[in-house]
Structure 1
Amino acid sequence: MGIEIEDKFDVTADYQLPDLSGLAEVVGPKSFQLVALYYDTPDLRLARRGVTLRRRRGGADPGWHLKLPKAKGVRQEIAIPLTRSTKVVPAELAELVRAYTRGAELGVVAELDTRRSVTLLKDGDRKLVEIADDRVKGTVYGTDPPAVMRWREVEAELLEGDEKLLAKTGKRLRKAGATPSPATSKLAKLLDPPPAPHAGLEPGTAGHTVMAYLSGQVTALLSQDPRVRREEEDAVHQMRVAARRLRSALKAFKPVVRNTSEIQDELRWLGGVLGEVRDLEVIRARFARELAGLPPELVVGPVRARLGDDLLRREREGYDTIRETLGGERYYALLDALDALVSEPELGKAAADPAETRLADVAAANWNRVTKAYETAQAIDDPEQREIAMHDVRKAAKRARYTAEALRDTLGKRMGTLAKLAEDVQEVLGAHQDGVVAQETLAEEAGAARRAGEDTFTYGVLAGLERAAADRAHEDFPRVWSETMAGVEKVL
């Protein structure tokens, strides 16, 4: 898998590539032919979401290429060797786009025949930037006869150089007459697919602000799906966060977007499936750090294996459950419901109100939920029950944080401040909760070790460390709460 950083330009048929000397050593041009078949569903579900799946012959990297959305100007690319068949998409790539296809059949929708002339900017053996001058013949299938389009474009792709060099290269190309291309890819230029549908709302209204945020989180959730299937680092966490943010926003903005309780329930379900693996990832890394910090004489018996390999085995089992979930009809139904939410939401009367006033009130109301939860918890005499109630304070703080973050672009700096204050409360309560959960996990693993006749001394050492961390967070909370309330008074 690679990350592409490139700039695309439209040029005329008689465009002359400028002199690039002075930027670096110039090598080339070298020409070759590329022939690529593009695969999609009949209604172009991949193209609508900026996903490209192709089988390409010719050039330096023939094979199957899957390009996934990541961020503006930067995309993930997954490549595998060519297979003999042009009709069947390799199963591992078809699996990675299932969140977009929802089980619909993939077939050839277009072909690009490109005469490419490549110029390299080098520094010794290092390839810094590649400039590709492409003369393209594109064919769209599905019509009789197939539609044909011809054009020329130039791409400057960063290889081993830095982004300053890429920017300087782009500046020279533009001075010679190239114009930045609005198309994200050759396929997008050829097919010109309509974007995924979104609700058309008046800018500046509460509805427009909320739906823009929800749309962004749906995109974030979808973009993590292939990464989760590949078990990439932090992918489960990011997908879980997107699900939580969506659910939190639907709760917070109920006056704006109505009748979303079923979607909220399904997002809670998805978050729960993802949560098991995420919690294991976190606690396994936590124990590894703690063990690495202990003097060797305090690490007795096969404790590293139990707190590493055993937890990793459970993590692998959790991934099996996740993959089964992501291939199921319930998950696809949730994605369909999210698409429908973004394109045709059921809006409340508050959607037409100015975002500045209506959503500021929502942010304040969500913070009031935090203070009420805190007051309720503090009124409980029983320490154990009070600790349980403080978990509700943490959940309320997380919702207040997500709400403020959703409004940061619209309402400005004060929402950023409120989000940070809520995060401070969430983190100190989370640190206490994490310490408690870690102690429970250690007790469970120590029991298994004891039954196997192993020395459990180190488990006790770790449990002591976790108890101390939990106690520190507990003792620190009154200070954090006092500082937070003083800060909230300034922004609300």
Structure 2
Amino acid sequence: MTRSKRETERTYETPAAYDASWLAGLLDVEGIASVAERGTEKLDAVYYDTDDLRLVGASVTLRRRTGGADAGWRLKLPMSGADQEEVSAPLSKAIPNTLRDLVVSRVRETELRPVVRIRSTRRVRHLLDSAGTVLAELSLDEVRADFLSATTSRASWTEMEVTLAEDIDSSLLDGVDERLRDKGIGCAGYPSKLARALEETGAEVPLLPDTGRETVVPGSAADEVLSYVDQQARTLVDIDPAVRRGLPDAVHKMRVTCRRLRSTLRTYRPVLDRKVTDPIREELKWLGGELAAARDQEVLAERLGSHIRALPRELLLGRVDARLQEWNVTRTAEARQRTLDALRSPRYLELLDSLTALAEQPPLARKAETGPEKVMVKAILKEYERLVGRVAHALELSPGTERDEALHQARKAAKRTRYATEPARASLGKPAKRLGRRVKAVQKVLGDHQDSVGARQALRNLALEAHAAHEPSFTWGLLYGQEQAEADTCERNVPTVWAPASKPRLRKALAG
């Protein structure tokens, strides 16, 4: 069993005098009422990584620690700013599978082995408020580090850490930092003990794989497109642990990343050879499809649940809440298992490998060295003209199933057009950004319409299930009618939202 928490800490050089002469200054920090001695701990941590230190390169650490109150396995994943998310598991001899899964997107099938051992003698103090609540932990560490190579090398140093307690505002650390600096105590020059251990033991940290960008003309169309593709590929790897743990919105972010990559590789075929990129696009389509059930169910459950909560109680006839919950639990479990099966498959790892190979050996096509303005404008306008045609076709149809599908196809074209503008924003500037914003508004209203189509299908099935169980189906029919009304409103709004996105001046501005 694992648990996670957000960890916010700062590391400092050792103060000249670790005593009351500077500790008293911390009592001037708002909220801190006292400093309590908590004794000394002996800690022994072994850090695991690949031979080429892929986790270190991704600012990820995996360690097994004995001693102290938090003995066990710890995986630290980077978050926004200097924060980290710490995922813990009980002490065991082997790396827990739950933690190994969370690094597989970064290490693939490469073996993890012990690379550094760090032993610390830690003197601990707690910073408390007036009620005795722990606000932060302040520790002085005497550190011995061994790099576990064929020839073991050693380093030693002392440092101080201040770690914020859970649910405490980070402004407290700012106050502590200010008081420490007043005493001449500066931040350490290393992001972590592991980073310092690697440098001070003289470990030869292997360089990360070459991106292959030396074959790309700087400022060319290929340079712009590959920068965007690299960014999205890194996002796919980074979001993987959150998807495996079922964190909110994680599946959605991964699915959108797949779409962005697919769309970019399709739109910019003149830049990157499609003989290489088309198979990658197919695999991205497969992964997006495996994620679809989980994301669609998430959206549907939230939508139907909110509509049910908004109804007066007298309109809820039968087992409405219970039936929706049963329906959601079953479908969510099935969809989540499908997602996990995909992420644990060799096919997924091969996809990640193919994206890495794309960066290391870019498959440049005939327009790769061309300036980005000409190539990207032509590619964006090609997607845009397809969108124009699909919107016009949808608006010509009468309301019904055929029009619903046509609006759905227009929505997909709007996404592709919007995604086409994203790699080009650096070189095309405001015209690309403006077109992207206008198309996003169209995508939004078409997305709302498609969500209603999916909701109506689900409500019809729920009504049939209720009827078969001899339960009233009135509420499901009422909700169906509401969804139909929302869809009608979306359809009426399409021409209004489309008008700003269809102005000829947008095309002229983009084309220069």
Query: What is the TM-score of this pair, normalised by structure 1?
Result: 0.89
Report the equivalent of 1:115: 121
- Residue by residue over 1:197-238, the C-alpha shift from the partner in whole angstroms, topping out at 9 and shown as x without a partner, is 433356544333322322222222122222222222222112
Contact 1:51/1:68 (8 A) holds in 2: yes
Partner AA of 1:142 in structure 2: S
Higher deviation after alignment, 351-360 or 36-45: 351-360
- Deviation of 1:100 after TM superposition, in Å, equals 2.6
Structure 2 Cα separation of the partners of residues 37 and 244 of structure 1: 39
Corresponding position: 1:45 with 2:58: no
Report the equivalent of 1:150: 156
Unaligned runs of 5+ in 1: none
Match of 2:42 among 33, 41, 63: 33
Equivalent position SS for 1:2 = strand
Corresponding position: 1:466 with 2:473: no
Report the equivalent of 1:91: 97
When residues 170 and 339 of structure 1 are mapped into structure 2, their CA distance, relative to the original with a 3 A threshold, is: farther
When residues 325 and 383 of structure 1 are mapped into structure 2, their CA distance, relative to the original with a 3 A threshold, is: closer
Report the equivalent of 1:139: 146
Computed over aligned residues only, the root mean square deviation of the Cα atoms, in angstroms, reads 2.9
Structure 2 Cα separation of the partners of residues 362 and 101 of structure 1: 35
- Deviation of 1:282 after TM superposition, in Å, equals 1.0
Report the equivalent of 1:256: 271
Structure 2 Cα separation of the partners of residues 13 and 57 of structure 1: 27
Corresponding position: 1:170 with 2:185: no
Corresponding position: 1:59 with 2:72: no
Match of 2:468 among 451, 454, 457: 451
Structure 1 Cα separation of the partners of residues 486 and 399 of structure 2: 22
Equivalent position SS for 1:233 = coil
Report the equivalent of 1:233: 248
Equivalent position SS for 2:411 = helix
Equivalent position SS for 1:39 = strand
Partner AA of 1:207 in structure 2: A
Contact 1:48/1:196 (8 A) holds in 2: no
Contact 1:218/1:338 (8 A) holds in 2: yes
Report the equivalent of 1:199: 212
Partner AA of 1:93 in structure 2: L
Structure 2 Cα separation of the partners of residues 197 and 20 of structure 1: 47
Equivalent position SS for 1:71 = coil
Partner AA of 1:4 in structure 2: E
When residues 491 and 49 of structure 1 are mapped into structure 2, their CA distance, relative to the original with a 3 A threshold, is: same
Match of 2:238 among 216, 223, 226: 223
Structure 2 Cα separation of the partners of residues 189 and 61 of structure 1: 22
- Deviation of 1:91 after TM superposition, in Å, equals 2.3
Higher deviation after alignment, 464-473 or 33-42: 33-42
Question: Number of residue pairs matched?
Answer: 486
Equivalent position SS for 2:194 = helix
- Deviation of 1:33 after TM superposition, in Å, equals 2.7
- Residue by residue over 1:240-280, the C-alpha shift from the partner in whole angstroms, topping out at 9 and shown as x without a partner, is 11211211222223233323111111001000000011101
Query: What is the TM-score of this pair, normalised by structure 2?
Result: 0.86
Partner AA of 1:253 in structure 2: Y
Contact 1:5/1:73 (8 A) holds in 2: yes
Structure 2 Cα separation of the partners of residues 453 and 288 of structure 1: 22
Report the equivalent of 2:358: 341
Report the equivalent of 2:299: 282
Partner AA of 2:163 in structure 1: E
Higher deviation after alignment, 110-119 or 274-283: 110-119
Contact 1:284/1:312 (8 A) holds in 2: no
Matches within 5 A, 1:353-432: 353-355=370-372, 358-378=375-395, 384-408=401-425, 411-432=428-449
Structure 2 Cα separation of the partners of residues 122 and 410 of structure 1: 53
Contact 1:70/1:223 (8 A) holds in 2: no
- Deviation of 1:316 after TM superposition, in Å, equals 0.2
Match of 1:208 among 199, 206, 223: 223
Contact 2:404/2:450 (8 A) holds in 1: no
Partner AA of 2:169 in structure 1: D
Contact 1:47/1:193 (8 A) holds in 2: no
Report the equivalent of 2:88: 79
When residues 489 and 347 of structure 1 are mapped into structure 2, their CA distance, relative to the original with a 3 A threshold, is: closer
- Deviation of 1:450 after TM superposition, in Å, equals 1.4
Partner AA of 2:243 in structure 1: V
Structure 1 Cα separation of the partners of residues 412 and 60 of structure 2: 35
Structure 2 Cα separation of the partners of residues 257 and 156 of structure 1: 48
Contact 2:270/2:367 (8 A) holds in 1: yes
Partner AA of 1:347 in structure 2: L
Equivalent position SS for 1:375 = helix
Higher deviation after alignment, 431-440 or 184-193: 184-193
- Residue by residue over 1:55-100, the C-alpha shift from the partner in whole angstroms, topping out at 9 and shown as x without a partner, is 11223322211112333412221112223x2xx1122222322223
Report the equivalent of 2:450: 433
Partner AA of 1:390 in structure 2: L
Structure 2 Cα separation of the partners of residues 387 and 173 of structure 1: 63
Contact 2:404/2:453 (8 A) holds in 1: no
Match of 1:314 among 328, 331, 334: 331
Partner AA of 1:76 in structure 2: E
Equivalent position SS for 1:454 = coil
Structure 2 Cα separation of the partners of residues 339 and 297 of structure 1: 57
- Deviation of 1:331 after TM superposition, in Å, equals 0.9
- Deviation of 1:286 after TM superposition, in Å, equals 1.0
Identity fraction in percent: 37
Contact 2:243/2:250 (8 A) holds in 1: yes
Report the equivalent of 1:4: 7
- Deviation of 1:485 after TM superposition, in Å, equals 2.7
